C-alpha cells in the first residue's frame, strides 16, 4: 500500500513535465504519457527516497529542465488553434496566453522535479556544483528577461524602433567594408557599432545576434549585482535578482531594447561592485581591479562618453579615502593601472581608423559633433537653462523608471540606519556625478534613465533585511520569484502590444516585396528625414550613402546632403514618415502603409518611393 501511494505521488509530480513534453500528434502524445507512467511506476517500486530537503542546486537544475521543456512547449503550441481559443477566452494575444500557460506549467514542473530528485543518487553531485548552478540561474534569468522585454528577441515579430535598426545597419556596413563615420554616419561610439558588427556576423538578416549580445550584457549586470548582494547576504541574494530584473528591464526606460545604456550598464555595475567590495573591506581597489576599471571605463568611453560621469564620482570617493587613510602612494599605483587599462582600449580603436585613414573624421563625428550639435537638439534656453535641464532629468526618472530612484533613496536611508555611511556616500557621489554629466546638456530621452538601474541594488539590501525573507525556504523561493518575474514582464512590459501583429503587418515587409518585384540589382534605399526604421534590415540592403538616414542632432549639411540625393536621383528607393516627399520628377509613390504601431493601436504613415528612371547614377 505504501508503494502504491508513492507511485501516485510520483506520477502526479510528473504530470506538469509530461504536459510540457507532449507533442501535437496523438500517437506521439500517447507514447509520451505511457513513457512517463512507466517511469513513475519504476521509480515508485525501486527508488529510495532521501529524507534530506531540496537544495538550492536542485531547485535551479529543476528550473532549468522545466524551462527547456517549456521553450519546446511554447514553440510548438504558440500558433495553434487551441492556443487561439484560450486567448479568446481571456481576451489576450495568443502568444501571450501561450507564454502564461507555459510559465505556470514550468513552475509546477519545477516543484515536481525537485520531489523526483529525492529518488536519484545524483543529488550529491548536483550539490557540489554551486558556482556552476549560480551561473546557470543568472543566465536563465538574463535570457528570460531579455527574450520577453526586448523587441530584438524571437518572441516579437519585428523591432521597428529606429535606434537598434540604425546601429545594426552600421554593423552590417562594417562587415561589407564600410567605415563608420566616414562612409556611413553615426553619432554613437565605435565599440557599440563593433558589437552590432558581431551581431550581424551571427545573423546578417535578423536581430538574433543583437538578442544574444543583449543577453550577455544582461548576464554581466546580474553577475555583479549578485556578487554585491552575496557579499553581505550569501546565496539568499539569488531570490531577489528576479525583482531587480523587473525593476531594471521592465519599465519604459528600457524602450524596445538595444540601447547604448543597456550595453554600458554591465561596465558601470562592475565599477559599483569594485567600489562596494573595497568599502566593505576598508581598502582601496586592488591593482588588478584598478586595471579592469581602466578597461571597463575605456569600453564605456567608446560606447557613449557621456556615461563617464559615474567614474568621476567613483574616483573622487577613493581620492578622499586615500587622503584620509594616508594611502596616496597606493592610489597613484591604482591611477597608473587605470590609465594602462584605458590605453589598452585605445589601441584597437585608433588602429582600426588609422588603417582606414579615418582617424580625423572619427574624432570629429564622435566627439566634436556630439559636443557641438547634440545639446542644441533639446536643451532649455535662457540663463537658468542648466538648472532646467537637471530638473528635466528628474522628470525623466518619473516618466521612465521612478522605481530605481525610490529604491536608491531607500538604500541611502538603509545605509544611514545601518551605520554604513561610507557606502551611502559612495553610492550618492557616484550617482550624482553621473546624473550631472548625463542631464546637464539638456537633451534627454526615456532610455537615458536605464544607465542608473544598478543603483537600485542599495534598496534591495534593505529588502533583504526583512525578517519574512530570511525565514523563507530558499529552494522553493527561487523558482517562485523567477516565474513571478516572467509573469510580471508578460503582463506589464510596454512592448507586449507588438505580439498582436504578424511580420506581414509591418510596412517594412511590404517594402521588401515591392523592392524584390522591381528586380533592381543591388538596390539602394534612403530614409529621408528619419532614422533607420528597419527597411534596410528587412530588405537586406547595406546603404551606400553616408547620410542614409537622419540623426538627432543639428548637424550642418546633413539635410542638404539628403536633398541632393533626391534631386540627383542617387538612390533607388526613398522612405519618408508622416509627411510625403516633396514634388519631384525623379520618384513616384508606390506604397503608403501604417507602421510604428503604438500600444493604443495608432500608427504613423510610411511612404515608399521608387525612382522613375531605373538606370543607376551613382
Lookup: cell for 580 = 510625403
Note the pLDDT tens digit of each residue in 241-276. 999 999 999 888 999 999 999 999 999 999 999 999
Note the pLDDT tens digit of each residue in 192-240. 999 999 999 999 999 999 999 999 999 999 999 999 999 888 888 888 8
Q: What is the pTM of this model?
A: 0.93
The pLDDT, as a whole number, for residue 90 is 64
Lookup: cell for 215 = 543577453
Q: Pick from 157, 148, 20, 24: which is nearest to 80 by CA?
A: 24
Q: Pick from 302, 394, 310, 385: which is nearest to 350 by CA?
A: 302
**Strand-strand pairing, 604-611 and 587-595:** antiparallel
Find all residues with CB under 8 Å of 43, minimum gap 6, and list them. Answer: 10, 116, 119
The pLDDT, as a whole number, for residue 617 is 43
d(CA 3, CA 66): 26
The pLDDT, as a whole number, for residue 361 is 96
What are the φ/ψ torsions at residue 549 (nearest 5 degrees)?
Answer: -150, 175
Positions in the chain short of pLDDT 70: 1, 50-52, 81-91, 121-123, 127, 376-383, 467-472, 601, 614-618
The pLDDT, as a whole number, for residue 618 is 41
What are the φ/ψ torsions at residue 91 (nearest 5 degrees)?
Answer: 55, 45
Contact (Cβ atoms closer than 8 angstroms) between residue 70 and residue 106: yes
Q: Pick from 6, 125, 105: which is nearest to 65 by CA?
A: 105
Judging by beta carbons within 10 Å of its beta carbon (0-12, 13-18, 19+), is residue 385 exposed, middle or buried?
middle
d(CA 12, CA 22): 16
Q: How many residues does the chain have?
A: 618
Contact (Cβ atoms closer than 8 angstroms) between residue 468 and residue 47: no
d(CA 105, CA 66): 8
Judging by beta carbons within 10 Å of its beta carbon (0-12, 13-18, 19+), is residue 64 exposed, middle or buried?
middle
The pLDDT, as a whole number, for residue 615 is 45
Contact (Cβ atoms closer than 8 angstroms) between residue 550 and residue 599: no
Lookup: cell for 479 = 523558482
d(CA 200, CA 210): 8
- From start to end of 184-337, where are the E strands? none
Amino acid at each position: 500500500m505504501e508503494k502504491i501511494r508513492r507511485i501516485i505521488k510520483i506520477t502526479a509530480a510528473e504530470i506538469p513535465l509530461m504536459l510540457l513534453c507532449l507533442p501535437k500528434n496523438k500517437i506521439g502524445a500517447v507514447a509520451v504519457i505511457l513513457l512517463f507512467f512507466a517511469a513513475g511506476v519504476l521509480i515508485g517500486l525501486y527508488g529510495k527516497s532521501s529524507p534530506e530537503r531540496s537544495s538550492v542546486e536542485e531547485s535551479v537544475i529543476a528550473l532549468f529542465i522545466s524551462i527547456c521543456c517549456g521553450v519546446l512547449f511554447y514553440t510548438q503550441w504558440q500558433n495553434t488553434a487551441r492556443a487561439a481559443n484560450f486567448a479568446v477566452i481571456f481576451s489576450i494575444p495568443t502568444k501571450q496566453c501561450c507564454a502564461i500557460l507555459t510559465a505556470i506549467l514550468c513552475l509546477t514542473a519545477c516543484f515536481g522535479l525537485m520531489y523526483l530528485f529525492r529518488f536519484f543518487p545524483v543529488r550529491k553531485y548536483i550539490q557540489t556544483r554551486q558556482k556552476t548552478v549560480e551561473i546557470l540561474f543568472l543566465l536563465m534569468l538574463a535570457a528570460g528577461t531579455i527574450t520577453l522585454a526586448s523587441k530584438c528577441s524571437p518572441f516579437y515579430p519585428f523591432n521597428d524602433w529606429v535606434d537598434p535598426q540604425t546601429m545594426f545597419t552600421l554593423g552590417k556596413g562594417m562587415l561589407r567594408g564600410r567605415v563608420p563615420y566616414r562612409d556611413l554616419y553615426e553619432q554613437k561610439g565605435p565599440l557599440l557599432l563593433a558589437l552590432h558588427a558581431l551581431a550581424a556576423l551571427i545573423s546578417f538578416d535578423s536581430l538574433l545576434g543583437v538578442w544574444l549580445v543583449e543577453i550577455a550584457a544582461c548576464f554581466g549586470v546580474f553577475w555583479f549585482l549578485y556578487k554585491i548582494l552575496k557579499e553581505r547576504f550569501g546565496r539568499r541574494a539569488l531570490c531577489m535578482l528576479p525583482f531587480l530584473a523587473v525593476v531594471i528591464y521592465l519599465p519604459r526606460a528600457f524602450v524596445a531594447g538595444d540601447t547604448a545604456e543597456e550595453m554600458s550598464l554591465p561596465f558601470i555595475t562592475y565599477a559599483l561592485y569594485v567600489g562596494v567590495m573595497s568599502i566593505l573591506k576598508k581598502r582601496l581597489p586592488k591593482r588588478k581591479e584598478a586595471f579592469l576599471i581602466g578597461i571597463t571605463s575605456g569600453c564605456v568611453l567608446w560606447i557613449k562618453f557621456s556615461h563617464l560621469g559615474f567614474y568621476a564620482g567613483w574616483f573622487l570617493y577613493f581620492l578622499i579615502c586615500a587622503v584620509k587613510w594616508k594611502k596616496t602612494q597606493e592610489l597613484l599605483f591604482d591611477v597608473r593601472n587605470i590609465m594602462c587599462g584605458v590605453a589598452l582600449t585605445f589601441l584597437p580603436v585608433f588602429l582600426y581608423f588609422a588603417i582606414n585613414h579615418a582617424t580625423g573624421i572619427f574624432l570629429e563625428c564622435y566627439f566634436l559633433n556630439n559636443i557641438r550639435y547634440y545639446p542644441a537638439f533639446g536643451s532649455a534656453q535662457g540663463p537658468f537653462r542648466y538648472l532646467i535641464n537637471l530638473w528635466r532629468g528628474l522628470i525623466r526618472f518619473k516618466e521612465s523608471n521612478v522605481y530605481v530612484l525610490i529604491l536608491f533613496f531607500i538604500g541611502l536611508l538603509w545605509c544611514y540606519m545601518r551605520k554604513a555611511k561610507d557606502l551611502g556616500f559612495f553610492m550618492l557621489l557616484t550617482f550624482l556625478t553621473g546624473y550631472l554629466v548625463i542631464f546637464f546638456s539638456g537633451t534627454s530621452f526615456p532610455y537615458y534613465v536605464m544607465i542608473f538601474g544598478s543603483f537600485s541594488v542599495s534598496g534591495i539590501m534593505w529588502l533583504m533585511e526583512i525578517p519574512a525573507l530570511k525565514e523563507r525556504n530558499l529552494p522553493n523561493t527561487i523558482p517562485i520569484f523567477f516565474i513571478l518575474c516572467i509573469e510580471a514582464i508578460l503582463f506589464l512590459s510596454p512592448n507586449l502590444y507588438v505580439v498582436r501583429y504578424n511580420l506581414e503587418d509591418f510596412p517594412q515587409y511590404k517594402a521588401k516585396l515591392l523592392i524584390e518585384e522591381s528586380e533592381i540589382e543591388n538596390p539602394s534605399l534612403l530614409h529621408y528625414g528619419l532614422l533607420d526604421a528597419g527597411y534596410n534590415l528587412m530588405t537586406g540592403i547595406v546603404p551606400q550613402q553616408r547620410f542614409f538616414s537622419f540623426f538627432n542632432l543639428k548637424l550642418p549639411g546633413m539635410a542638404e546632403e539628403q536633398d541632393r540625393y533626391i534631386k540627383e536621383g542617387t538612390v533607388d528607393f526613398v522612405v519618408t514618415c508622416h509627411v510625403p516627399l516633396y514634388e519631384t520628377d525623379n520618384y513616384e509613390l508606390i506604397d503608403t502603409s501604417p507602421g510604428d504601431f503604438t500600444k493604443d493601436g495608432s500608427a504613423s504613415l510610411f511612404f515608399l518611393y521608387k525612382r522613375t528612371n531605373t538606370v543607376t547614377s551613382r
